[in-house]
């Protein structure tokens, strides 16, 4: 063997050759057999980017850990924000209820209420 520099240079050159071979193989496989093209491209990606597989595994482990943390909180429950039988305090509702309690409410009172509310449907 040679010096450490020579070993490193040979190692990098060999990796470059492997990448070029995998790229050429993936391109030829795409032209010749479309069914095996995805496998060839995946093998090219593994050779060209070897860190992707380990980073994907790390991401999966992180996601799994986050999901397990959420599971530890217990079951998901949904509670209504307002009670259905609780009466809502609304000034408009109060005015309308008080105004229309009598069946004898005059047109003037109704017009006054509609004037306060404004035009409901634009013309």
For the chain, how many structural domains are there in total? Answer: 2
Residue 67 shares a structural domain with residue 95: no
Residue 47 shares a structural domain with residue 93: no
Structure tokens at 37: 């093209």
Query: Residue 79 falls within a domain, yes or no?
Result: no
Q: What percent of the chain has pLDDT over 90?
A: 5
Query: Residue 48 falls within a domain, yes or no?
Result: yes
Residue 66 shares a structural domain with residue 104: no
| Polymer length of the chain | 123
Q: Which domain holds residue 106?
A: 88-123
pLDDT (tens digit per residue) in 16-36: 888 888 888 888 888 888 888
Residue 63 shares a structural domain with residue 122: no
| pLDDT for res 3 | 86
Is 60 exceeded by the pLDDT of residue 123? no
pLDDT (tens digit per residue) in 65-117: 999 998 898 887 877 776 666 666 778 877 777 766 665 556 677 778 778 87
SS3 per residue for 63-102: HHHHHHHHHHCCCCCCCCCCCCCCCCCCHHHHHHHHHCCC
Residue 9's contacts (CB-CB under 8 Å, 6 or more residues apart) are none
HSE-up of 35 (CA within 13 Å, CB side)? 0
| pLDDT for res 64 | 92
Residue 20 shares a structural domain with residue 54: yes
Is pTM beyond 0.95 here?
Answer: no
Residue 56 shares a structural domain with residue 116: no
| pLDDT for res 65 | 93
| pLDDT for res 101 | 64
Query: Residue 46 falls within a domain, yes or no?
Result: yes
Residue 15 shares a structural domain with residue 59: yes
Query: Residue 33 falls within a domain, yes or no?
Result: yes
């Amino acid at each position: 063997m040679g010096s450490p520099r020579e070993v490193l240079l040979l190692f990098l050159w060999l990796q470059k050759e492997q990448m070029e071979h995998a790229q050429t193989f993936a391109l030829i496989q795409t032209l010749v057999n479309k069914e095996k093209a995805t496998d060839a491209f995946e093998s090219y990606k593994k050779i060209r980017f070897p860190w992707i597989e380990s980073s994907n595994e790390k991401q999966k482990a992180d996601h799994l850990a986050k999901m397990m943390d959420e599971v530890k909180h217990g079951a998901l429950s949904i509670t209504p924000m307002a009670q259905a039988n609780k009466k809502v305090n609304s000034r408009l509702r109060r005015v309308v209820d008080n105004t229309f309690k009598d069946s004898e409410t005059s047109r003037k009172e109704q017009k006054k209420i509609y004037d306060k509310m404004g035009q409901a449907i634009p013309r």
